[in-house]
Structures are given as structure tokens and as C-alpha cells.
Chain A
């Protein structure tokens, strides 16, 4: 018997005016499983993430985390309940240091926010943890820099570091390697592989590069026009008609010809004040 799912969506739907961006998606994610989510630009992948992590309210359907209905919960309480989300568009604290960005995530996880009269710098345990995580994502040497001064690739790595610091039950990565150089991307992908290996966590990964998916994923789900078009073993999903059709005839078995253009802010729905 497969383990009980840690995350489930039932008939999850959102409408923007008349446009159904996510259309009754029912899907379950088990601990220890890495599920790739694919679909053409505008298919609703990021919006599906936004519904799960609470950035936008659902029009219909439910989201269950570890058996609990979190459909109406705020984004912050979902995070505290164990949902970790990295963003497609880098979304950090730009004028704070790299170390402080990760430290804040550790602080949030430990619920150490309302300490008013102790010194933040006295919490060496937190600093040490943040630095250990930065070492894992190969950012240790940049710990003292402000985030605004980092390259795009390093900012993407910091996104991953923050997610690791949250130590969630469910990791959600939205195109974590988008715009990264060929030598940087493997750092992030190796980390994701590590996360998959070391903990019984579920990992949701939106990714366009088929070679990456083929290597990492245990399962693939396909979104097309907001609806779930396929769900199954990688090889079988990639070969299926529905994928061929969803990608409009694009050959998905070809190793990563960088199929997707860079997303624009308008197309992702990730405006930071939804």
C-alpha cells in the first residue's frame, strides 16, 4: 500500500473573470515522492501553486495538508503547517544580507519572531544553522553580501536555501533553474535530488527541461488549459498523446532544447500583492 498522501487537492479551481486558470484539479502527493508538473506557458502551473500555498484564494475545491483542510488558511499559516514554496520570480529581501535572508526563514520556522528585548545577534544557533544551509547551496562565501548585489543565479540558489531553512513537509519549486547558467543549474538540481533522498518529504517541481524531469521525477502530471491532462509514470506520460498534443507537437523526448521562453511577470500571476 502506498503511503498516505501528505498533500491533496480536490477539484481545485480558480476563475479570473470568465477565464478558468485552474480547472478542477484533483491530485495527491505522497511523502518521498518527486512529482514534476509540466505544461505549456500559461497552462496554470504557477496558479496551481498559488492556490496550494495560499497566495490566491480558490474559487472552488479543497487543499488538504497532512490530512488537514487548509483551503481557507492564510499563506503564513500554511507555511507554518509545513508547506514550503519557492517562487518562479525571485522574491527575496533585497537590502538584507544573504545570511539574514536565510536566518529569517529559520527564525520563522522556530517561531522566534516576537522576541523584543533579546539581541538577534546573540542567537548563534540560528546564525550557525543559516550558515550551514548557505554552505549547502554554495553561497557561504557571499553570506555577508546584500541580496541586491547577487547575480541572478545566486539569487535562485538563495531561494532554495530559504526553502531548506523552512524544513517543510512539502517542497514546491517553480522553475528553480530558469535563467541559470549551465554550470549553476546542476547545483540546484543536485540539491533537489539530495532533498528527495534524505527525507520523507514530497517535492513538487515545475520544470520545462525534459532531461531533468526524466532523471529526477517519480511521476509527472500534465496541466493543459488549467486542467489535469495526464498523471503517471514519466516514460508513459511523456509518450502519451495528450502530452504531444499539449505541447503542440513539440518533441518532448528531445533533451531539453530550452522549450519555454522566459516567463514575463504578467504571465505568471506572481505579482507580490495578490
Chain B
């Protein structure tokens, strides 16, 4: 009952899906102990952050039916916000809070302005404007290198409690040393969990129902008395704020902010694919899509290296599985998954193809 309310009554709707989601939750909750090692912990943290980011994008794309190419820009604004906060105000939790809040407010304000000027017109116009603004923003970030570090970005110090140098207790728990790195992971994990549950609540609120009505038939939504433009702008601002907060968490995790890491168009495409592969219009799709995507991105190269070695001697195959071709394979996997699961993995599992 309590759990049902925690997930806003949004049941996965398929036993297999429920099991997979619980496995992902447990896997992430105990990641430092289940998958020890710097690399796998980094993968787990990225999964957390991209779940929150993909979920915030789905609020716009899947629930409201708005295509935006500026979503990663908001993510970047949040990341730079936290980074500048920590850099300028010193390594404290207060700096994170102020930086993240500043980033979120800036993201909301920019989203509001973009929405106000372009959501009144046709949907394609909004998509084009977001593309233009996001490109301009990326150029600006690299131009103002005094503040942003330009193309190289900049590193900064996070609170001491979140660094490996900080010892919580002597000794180890299940072979994992209890230090600030562990705290940092749980800081990110908790932040993302809260963000995700908040987004889940929003899409299941009366407001969320209106967004779906707008996606389904904006003409009729207006005709039954909803001010469609206002709802679209509100959804754009909300999703921008959520993206910015996810970005702040990402910057704290990386202890770094730079255009390639938090602002690139590549990430925008990744997030779009996560939402589409997982299944649009369901927050659970964002969980599945982000998890699959980040794991594929992190480990495909290894798998291919192993395959390449294993097929040593066979014609063509070792070459085809050469780890350098991993991007090609990632592409192939995506094309196939979109082709075979047009409603995403979640849609497929719910039997709604």
C-alpha cells in the first residue's frame, strides 16, 4: 500500500517488467557491494543519473508530445550550476545546494522564455527553436572560457565527506571500504531516486492527465477548456528543472563539468534513444531504456573484444567484432530494437505492440 503510493499507483503492468524493475532497483541500491570496482560503480551512477534524465525527457516527449532538442542543455545548465557553486563558494553541501538551485532556476527561466515564444506556434517550430538555442548555448559555453573553462571544462572539489579520503569507519563491509566515495554514490542514488519518484508523481497527477490529453488531441483539450499553451509551457519548465537537477548530481559525481561530458549533442541523441527504446509515455520505459543503454555503452566494447578473440581464425568475424566497431553495433542494436519494439521494451512486455 505504502509502496503503491510511493510509485504513485503506477503499476508496471506486467510481471516480467516488475521483476526486471525490482532487479534494477536492487542492483543500483546495492551496486557498491554487488559490483565492486571503480568502473562498475561509475556505470551504476551513470545509470541512476540517466534514468532521471530520460524520465524528465519522457515527461515532455512521451507524456506531452513535445519534441525538444534542448533537454541536454538544461542538464548542462544544472551541471555547470553545481560546478560553479562548488568552485566559487568552496567545497560544502551548501555550495551544491546553491549551485543546483541556481541552475534549476536558470533552466526554468530559459525554458519558460523558449516556451513562451515558440509553443504558441506549431510543434515543429518549437523543435527547431530548441535546436538553435541549444547550439547557441554550447557555443557560448566554449566562448566564455574564463567562467566555464571553455572546451576543456574544469574540475573542482566536492565536500570532503564525499571523497575517498574521508573514512566513515575503519575496516570493510563485504570487502568494500567505507569511505566518502560510497557516500557520494548514495548521494547520487538517493537524489536520482527522489527525482524519479517526483516525476512519477507528476505524470500520475491531475496535471499529468491533462498533459496526456494534450498529447492525444490538443485541439480537443483546448475545446474542453484547458489552456493548452500554459500546460505545455509548464511541462517544459518542469522537465527542464528535473534535467538541471540531474545535471547537478552528475557534475558532483564527476567532480568535473565540461561540454563533452554534460552538454554535447551526442548525449541528446542518447537520451532520445533511451526513451524510445524503453517505451515512450511510461516512466518505466525510461528506467529500462537508460539501464540498457548505459550498460551497452560501457560494456559493448569488452563483449566485442571477447567475441573477436573467440572467433580468432574464422574468416571475417574477428574483424566484424573488432572493438573499434562498437559504435556500429550499437547502431545496429538500436535500429533492430526500434524496428521490433515500436512501443519500446515496456510496450512489448505489456503486450501492446
Interface residues of A (CB under 8 A from B): 53, 55, 74-77, 79-80, 85, 87, 91-96, 100, 103-105, 107-109, 112-121, 123, 162, 166, 272-273
Q: Is the CB of B227 closer than 8 A to any CB of chain A? A: yes
Interface-central residue, B198, B201, B213, B228, by most chain A CB under 10 Å: B213
- Whole-angstrom distance between the alpha carbons of A121 and B226 in the complex? 19
- Whole-angstrom distance between the alpha carbons of A91 and B224 in the complex? 11
- Whole-angstrom distance between the alpha carbons of A119 and B202 in the complex? 8
Determine whether the beta carbon of B204 is less than 8 Å from that of A119.
Answer: yes
Enumerate B210-229 residues with CB–CB distance to A below 8 Å. Answer: 210, 212-213, 216-217, 219-228
Determine whether the beta carbon of A76 is less than 8 Å from that of B217.
Answer: no
Determine whether the beta carbon of B9 is less than 8 Å from that of A121.
Answer: yes
Interface-central residue, B8, B198, B206, B217, by most chain A CB under 10 Å: B206
Give 1 or 0 for each of B185-202: 1 = CB within 8 Å of chain A CB: 000000000000010011
Determine whether the beta carbon of B8 is less than 8 Å from that of A119.
Answer: yes
Checking B9, B204, B217, B227 against A91 with a beta-carbon cut-off of 8 angstroms, the contacting residue is B217
Checking B9, B202, B216, B234 against A95 with a beta-carbon cut-off of 8 angstroms, the contacting residue is B216
Please give, as numbers and ranges, the residues of chain B lying within 8 Å of A166 by CB-CB distance. Answer: 224-225
Determine whether the beta carbon of B222 is less than 8 Å from that of A74.
Answer: yes
Identify the closest chain B residue to A118 (Cβ). Answer: B205
Please give, as numbers and ranges, the residues of chain B lying within 8 Å of A108 by CB-CB distance. Answer: 224-226
A209, chain B: closest CB distance, angstroms? 25
Identify the closest chain A residue to B227 (Cβ). Answer: A76
Please give, as numbers and ranges, the residues of chain A lying within 8 Å of B198 by CB-CB distance. Answer: 117
Please give, as numbers and ranges, the residues of chain A lying within 8 Å of B222 by CB-CB distance. Answer: 74-76
Please give, as numbers and ranges, the residues of chain B lying within 8 Å of A95 by CB-CB distance. Answer: 216
Please give, as numbers and ranges, the residues of chain B lying within 8 Å of A117 by CB-CB distance. Answer: 198, 201-202, 205
- Name the 8 nearest CB pairs between A and B, nearest first: A79-B225, A272-B219, A93-B216, A108-B225, A115-B206, A108-B224, A116-B207, A80-B225
Please give, as numbers and ranges, the residues of chain B lying within 8 Å of A118 by CB-CB distance. Answer: 205-206
Q: Is the CB of B137 closer than 8 A to any CB of chain A? A: no
Q: How many residues of B contact A (CB 8 A)?
A: 30
Q: List 30 A-B contacts (CB under 8 A).
A: A53-B223, A55-B223, A76-B228, A77-B227, A79-B223, A91-B220, A92-B217, A93-B217, A104-B213, A104-B224, A107-B206, A107-B209, A113-B231, A115-B205, A115-B206, A115-B207, A116-B201, A116-B202, A116-B207, A116-B238, A117-B198, A117-B205, A118-B205, A119-B9, A119-B201, A120-B204, A121-B9, A123-B206, A166-B224, A272-B220
Determine whether the beta carbon of B206 is less than 8 Å from that of A109.
Answer: no
Determine whether the beta carbon of B210 is less than 8 Å from that of A121.
Answer: no
B137, chain A: closest CB distance, angstroms? 27
- Whole-angstrom distance between the alpha carbons of A108 and B128 in the complex? 31
Identify the closest chain B residue to A85 (Cβ). Answer: B223
B335, chain A: closest CB distance, angstroms? 25
Determine whether the beta carbon of B205 is less than 8 Å from that of A116.
Answer: yes
Determine whether the beta carbon of A103 is less than 8 Å from that of B209.
Answer: yes
B61, chain A: closest CB distance, angstroms? 15
Identify the closest chain B residue to A84 (Cβ). Answer: B224
Determine whether the beta carbon of B216 is less than 8 Å from that of A94.
Answer: yes
Determine whether the beta carbon of B210 is less than 8 Å from that of A113.
Answer: yes
Determine whether the beta carbon of B219 is less than 8 Å from that of A273.
Answer: yes
Given contacts A100-B209, A104-B210, A108-B225, A92 and B220 within 8 Å (CB-CB): yes
Determine whether the beta carbon of A112 is less than 8 Å from that of B206.
Answer: yes
Identify the closest chain B residue to A165 (Cβ). Answer: B224
Determine whether the beta carbon of B206 is less than 8 Å from that of A76.
Answer: no
Please give, as numbers and ranges, the residues of chain B lying within 8 Å of A273 by CB-CB distance. Answer: 219
- Whole-angstrom distance between the alpha carbons of A191 and B292 in the complex? 52
Please give, as numbers and ranges, the residues of chain B lying within 8 Å of A100 by CB-CB distance. Answer: 209
- 8 extra interface residue pairs, beta carbon distance < 8 Å, beyond A76-B228, A93-B221: A74-B227, A76-B223, A92-B217, A93-B213, A93-B217, A108-B226, A115-B207, A272-B219
Please give, as numbers and ranges, the residues of chain B lying within 8 Å of A107 by CB-CB distance. Answer: 206, 209-210
- Whole-angstrom distance between the alpha carbons of A118 and B203 in the complex? 10
Determine whether the beta carbon of B234 is less than 8 Å from that of A114.
Answer: yes
Determine whether the beta carbon of B217 is less than 8 Å from that of A120.
Answer: no
- Whole-angstrom distance between the alpha carbons of A112 and B209 in the complex? 11
Determine whether the beta carbon of A109 is less than 8 Å from that of B202.
Answer: no
